[in-house]
Each structure stands twice: as C-alpha cells, then as structure tokens.
Amino acid sequence: MKKICVLGLGYIGLPTSIILAENNFEVIGFDVDHIKVDRINNSDAVIQEPEISSKLKKVLSEKKFKAVKEIESADYFIIAVPTPFKVNNLEKQADLSYVWSTVEFISQVLKIGDTVILESTVPVGTTEELARNLELSTNLKAGKDFFVAYCPERVFPGKIFYELENNSRVLGGINSISAQKAQELYIKFVKGNLHLESSIFAEMIKLVENSSRDAQIAIANQVASLAYKVGIDPYKLISIANEHPRVKILNPTCGVGGHCIAVDPWFLVESFPEQTELFKKSRQINDAKPYQVLNFIKEAISKWKLSNPNSKCKMAILGLTYKPNVDDLRESPALLIAQELNKIAEIDFVAVEPYIEPEILNKKYNIKTEKLENALNDSNIIICLVAHNYFKNLKNLLLKDQIVLDFCGLMHEKDYLNLEATKTINFKSKYDEK
C-alpha cells in the first residue's frame, strides 16, 4: 500500500487526505498548527463541509488516516498549503513562504522514487523552482531520482467531496514520468478526465480558470452599475438578458471574496503585466464593489435621517461570509462592509449570519448579531449582502415601510420569466401619466 503525506490540513488538504484514505491509501496529514492536528485526531473536522465530520471519524477509526506534527517519509507528498498575497506598491504579489517551508520539511525525508505533488495555486514556473529547491537541499535529481508535478485543485467549497471525485484534472509534470507518477495516484479516485500536461500548462490553466470567472463577475458588477444609474433592477435585467441563447451574465454581488478568485488573477498580473490588462481591470472593478455598496447604504441612511431627524437609524445586515451557504469569512466583502458600517456613529446595526458563531463575530470583529426575526422586527433598513438559503423566506418576514437594499439578488423575483408574466406590462413611464 502506498503511503501519502499531505502537507497542510485546510480546506483542500483535509478533504483530500480523507478521500485518499477512503481509497485505501495509508495517509498522514502534516500541519505546523499543532492545535489543529490534535483537534483533527479527536474527530473535529475544523472546517465546515457537508459529510466531512462522519467521513473523518470513519477514516480515523479505521486507522487509514492520522494527523501528525512531525514529517514522516512517504511515497507521495501532496502540498496543499495556502498561497496568500502580499501588497507591494498597490499591486498584489504571491506570498509563497508556506510552499517553501514545506520544501524544507519534505527534503528531510525525501528518498529515491518519491513523488512530490503541488496543489496550491501558484504563479507560473513555481513547480520547476520547487523541483530545483528540492534538488539543492537533497542532492537528488528531479525527474530522475524523485518526481514533481503540479496538479491544481478545482473544487467548489460546499461541494468538495463530490468535485474531488468527479471533476476532471490537469496533471502537470516537470517531465513525462512525473506526470505519469501523478496519474498513478489520481486515477485511483478521480472519475473525471486526467490530462497529462507540463507543469507550466497546469499552472497556467488554474490561473486562467479563476481569472476568467473574476472577469465574468466584473461584467455582472459593471452591468449592475449601469442598471443602478438608470434606476432599473439589475437582477431582472440580467435574468432577461440571459434568456438570449448566447448571453450568460453572472450574478452581481457586494464584491468578490474568498481565497481564490480574489487572489489568483494577481499571480498572472504579476508575471505577465502586458497580457493581463483585462484581468487587472476586473480585479479593480470587483475590489471597488464593496465601497460602491457602502456609498449606496450611506445614501439610504441620509435619506432616512431626513424624515427621522431625531432617531437613530437601526439596520440589519444579512450575511457576512464570502459567499452563500459557507462558513468562510476569508476576504469577505460583506464582512468588510459591516466593519466599515461599524465606524458610523449615527447608526445601530446587527448582523444575521447563520454560519458563524455569534461569539466569534462579537469578539474578533466587534459585530453584534441577532436572530433573523428579531433583527428584522427591529430595523428601519435591511441590507442583503449574502444570499444564504437561510434567508429565502425573507419577503414574508418583512414589516411594512422597511427599506430593503438588496446587493445579492435575494429579493429578486423570478416570476417575470413565467409565460403569463411576459404578457403583462412591467413598467410605468412618465408618459403614462400624461
């Protein structure tokens, strides 16, 4: 039985360890966070993801997986550590320090015949650099004594286990035998296609996928700006535009967050400034979105104040995570908006966030939370930031005369796409009143 060592037990590393263990590999998960290692060994999955707790419990009890604090020798090493960015002259650059520290750990135990697989998102060329660094620290020859491949993960938080198994993958070797070594591993649990390519190809495809999604979201946000400018509902505009067989505009939101889409395009901009004008502009458009939303909220507060000069405006913020139905606050535009609102003295606001412990929001971010009904009953303005399924019934809970600002499409009626609705007049013009 092959032994696999997964380095980094986060959103990718832990589910990957579990799925490998389920497929009868002997798996150890290494992490420098010793508290996390203990928690995982005690069946605490650390992250929220459907099925993860029961799956973790099972592979631990069957002794197919354990988390470890010291690196051990293995046949395969899978690197799944974060690659955040650092800001340099207003441009963002990849911070690869976690990747390089895994190289130090692996080189302590690397032996002839082993394969090292990088899954973290990285700038183009990093895998070859990783191979060179391992050669320098071990005196072994990359591509001959040991093998190196870049196999980017493509999973969607909330659907990780399904996508780990079913998505197709690109296995990018530093040479052909390295790609084949990766194939021997992934073929055991991936049902999708396995494309054997160079490491440069695999690095590029990962960054292009996420940058293209970012650019498409920027289109949606730009369309929303146009719609707001002339006072029409952006969600309705987009839904009806999408009835065109070749138009597919995404959903405008309060911004782009998370650890991937908001970060990865910068890795391309950093390396290829002349070929990435659109990706850079898209990043700027999406980064500006939370501030645009804040301006709309401030306008609404000022308007409310005009008719209620002696009262304090009470607000409810619905949703703080970076996207719907996840417990992840990383780079969350909704959280940024709430933190900015916290600085405004003339309002009182509470947040409703079903996926995060109230105590964390209170202690770490100084944000007060409330149950949905209580928050709605006690608010003059309601701000929808994240379209959690939990809020689906919102329309039926609203009180009369409440101002609702919807920045995620939560309130948006799909009824106008029904056949009957298409036969009715859906607007009122000043000429109708003449």
Residues in contact with ligand SAJ by CB under 6 A are 121, 153-157, 209-210, 213, 217, 220, 250-251, 253, 256-258, 260-261, 322-323
CA distances from 18 to 29, 196, 400 (A): 9, 24, 50
State in angstroms the smallest separation of the CB of 216 from ligand SAJ.
8
Residue placing its CB nearer to ligand SAJ in the complex, 64 or 283: 283
Q: In what order do the strands lie in the sheet with 65-68?
A: 65-68, 26-30, 3-7, 76-79, 115-118, 147-150, 169-173, 194-198
CA distance 375 to 327: 20
Please report how the helices 277-307 and 333-341 are oriented relative to each other, as an axis angle in degrees rounded to 10. Answer: 40
State in angstroms the smallest separation of the CB of 374 from ligand SAJ.
26
Residue placing its CB nearer to ligand SAJ in the complex, 60 or 151: 151
Instruction: Identify whether the C-beta of residue 19 lies closer than 8 Å to the C-beta of residue 164.
Output: yes
Phi, psi of 172 (to 5 degrees): -105, 110
CA distance 397 to 375: 11
State in angstroms the smallest separation of the CB of 108 from ligand SAJ.
28
State in angstroms the smallest separation of the CB of 257 from ligand SAJ.
4
**Three-class DSSP category at 5:** strand
Residue placing its CB nearer to ligand SAJ in the complex, 142 or 361: 361
Residue placing its CB nearer to ligand SAJ in the complex, 262 or 301: 262
State in angstroms the smallest separation of the CB of 166 from ligand SAJ.
12
CA distances from 393 to 349, 389, 390 (A): 21, 9, 8
Residue placing its CB nearer to ligand SAJ in the complex, 15 or 157: 157
CA distance 271 to 260: 17
Catalytic residue positions, numbered: 206, 260
